[in-house]
A and B are shown apart, each in its own frame.
Chain A
């Protein structure tokens, strides 16, 4: 299959080699990249290229699984693809072959309706067979409409009732600190989700307990079911709110992988305070007829629409 297409080909050998060598040295590759380590510029380019290819693959997986399911949340899954890709291929210290490794980093998908993006990443990362993605939302499937921690390896918490994941992440972060374990906890929230009061209960508590091992990413795609967040019930300004609640905050283009990696590196460097990354994203990103269309919040593509979307994704340039 042509480069840039939707396939399950492994990343290039050079990328894998560079990743492996840096991992063996116990460092994040992105740290080296950003902080000017010994990695050659070509290797940096390879890394980002590889991640972009991953992101494209995940988008293709999403379209296929949503079309097969006939229902599900397309827009908010697509907007989170780069965030999830950066996490699962570069940031999280995880062992897909040992999902309950006690020292693993935790990722909680608080906006549980974006389950397809989590499932695609877990499958592509090797937690379960990629073919199983097509069972999404079907009777007996481990891929429930919203993540179920009891069913699918790699899922860290059952989520879906919005506003609850940050509290769960906080509990994990507190436990990690009690046990003196090195793991970090990452929680992905929606911007509309920040309308839930519990988010701010948890934000207040996380700052109070100085959970430096806790990072929130806000998928700021600007849309919720009833329309733009600014017209439904504005949760803005998000950075100011999180800062006021005692968090260290940065903003980033949520589709810019190098910028995302830099933001995650920044979050690791902050201690004694939880960190929030406000990721500005486009709902439906990567599929032109879905982009910024509120109707695609909770809708799955038809077979024809899926073909269209896959064609577009497969033709997409490296920098898309």
Chain B
């Protein structure tokens, strides 16, 4: 496997825009809503292709979500987009009561999630959105790792019935998968096997985890890397199996360690197979301004940090 960093870079939100255009031609019920950020979320691509099925709701996220709910009640398949911090924070009650409670067929596709928003700073960096969406009954939560997976995730979300939250980032990220990539909601994927430890990663951290595993392999430590693209419903079976096989678990996410993938895996291990666990994520703090790369480094979310986490958890596991 070549170094992950040398791969082609595409932003997942660009893949989202393209996916919407592709799906729009096949699915007449598909409608798209945005809250004055269509150029950033890339829903502008859909707006160009299908202007009559695109609704810019202005800087009004609560109404964005409510209107999407009404469209769904009338048989449409709405994708509602804005930045993750606004989608899940500003409109949380709307998502809870108007979409999740009635189980409506609305897809909330949020971009600019996590600290890789960068320079805009902590006010705009959603580090709690997975947690907020994960607690809602019936909500599916997907965090694609690359452009290919984003396309497939959006298509799968539109094809299933019920509310879905898809979390996308702002920056270009390495393309990890080929067009033949198999994506199934709720089925985590073992990207690399190994018996010495397992890293459950999601979103941009999948690339970092793969890079870490390559480096560790050169040192004779074989680490399994699992792409947990669906944080809910979680692939409990696979997580337990890998925990049992390796006995040392690391989670990696560009999100708070509270309520996200790390918490979800800890819940599973606690109930099914207690094993040493190190959670890599944002540790009870907000983000700040800086370049995405600087922030990932400063907040401890790069491949070298994963390597250290693997070493730490292996020590605790007695290796």
Q: Which residues of A contact B (CB under 8 A)?
A: 102, 106, 148-150, 156-161, 163-176, 178-179, 197-198, 201-202, 204-205, 208-209
Among the stretches B37-45, B65-73, B269-277, the one at the interface with A is B65-73
The residues in B between 56 and 107 inclusive whose CB is less than 8 angstroms from any CB of A are 57-58, 60, 62-63, 65-76, 78, 93-94, 96-98, 101-103
Contact of B69 among A106, A160, A163, A171 (CB under 8 A): A171
SS class, residues of chain A in contact with chain B:
helix
Report the minimal beta-carbon distance from B72 to chain A, rounded to whole angstroms.
7
Contact A170 B67 (CB under 8 A): yes
**Besides the known contacts A150-B103, A158-B101, 7 further A-B residue pairs in the complex with CB atoms under 8 A apart:** A148-B101, A164-B97, A167-B66, A170-B66, A174-B67, A198-B94, A202-B66
Q: From known contacts A102-B75, A160-B97, A161-B93, infer whether A178 and B53 are also in contact, taking CB-CB under 8 Å.
A: yes
Contact B73 A156 (CB under 8 A): yes
Contact A171 B52 (CB under 8 A): no
By a CB distance below 8 angstroms, the chain B residues around A202 are: 63, 66-67
Q: Which residue of A lies closest to B98 (CB)?
A: A164
B31 at the interface (CB under 8 A from A): yes
Number of A-B contacts (CB under 8 A): 109
Q: From known contacts A197-B62, A198-B62, infer whether A174 and B55 are also in contact, taking CB-CB under 8 Å.
A: yes
Residue-wise interface mask of B (18-62) relative to A, using a CB-CB cutoff of 8 A (1 in contact, 0 not):
000000000000010000000000000000000011010110101
By a CB distance below 8 angstroms, the chain A residues around B68 are: 171
Q: From known contacts A150-B103, A164-B98, infer whether A171 and B71 are also in contact, taking CB-CB under 8 Å.
A: yes
Q: Which residue of B lies closest to A158 (CB)?
A: B102
Contact B98 A158 (CB under 8 A): yes
Q: Which residue of A lies closest to B65 (CB)?
A: A167
Contact B97 A167 (CB under 8 A): no
CB pairs A–B below 8 angstroms (10 shown) = A164-B98, A168-B69, A168-B70, A168-B98, A170-B66, A171-B69, A171-B73, A178-B52, A179-B74, A208-B58
Contact B76 A164 (CB under 8 A): no
The residues in B between 88 and 131 inclusive whose CB is less than 8 angstroms from any CB of A are 93-94, 96-98, 101-103
Contact A164 B67 (CB under 8 A): no
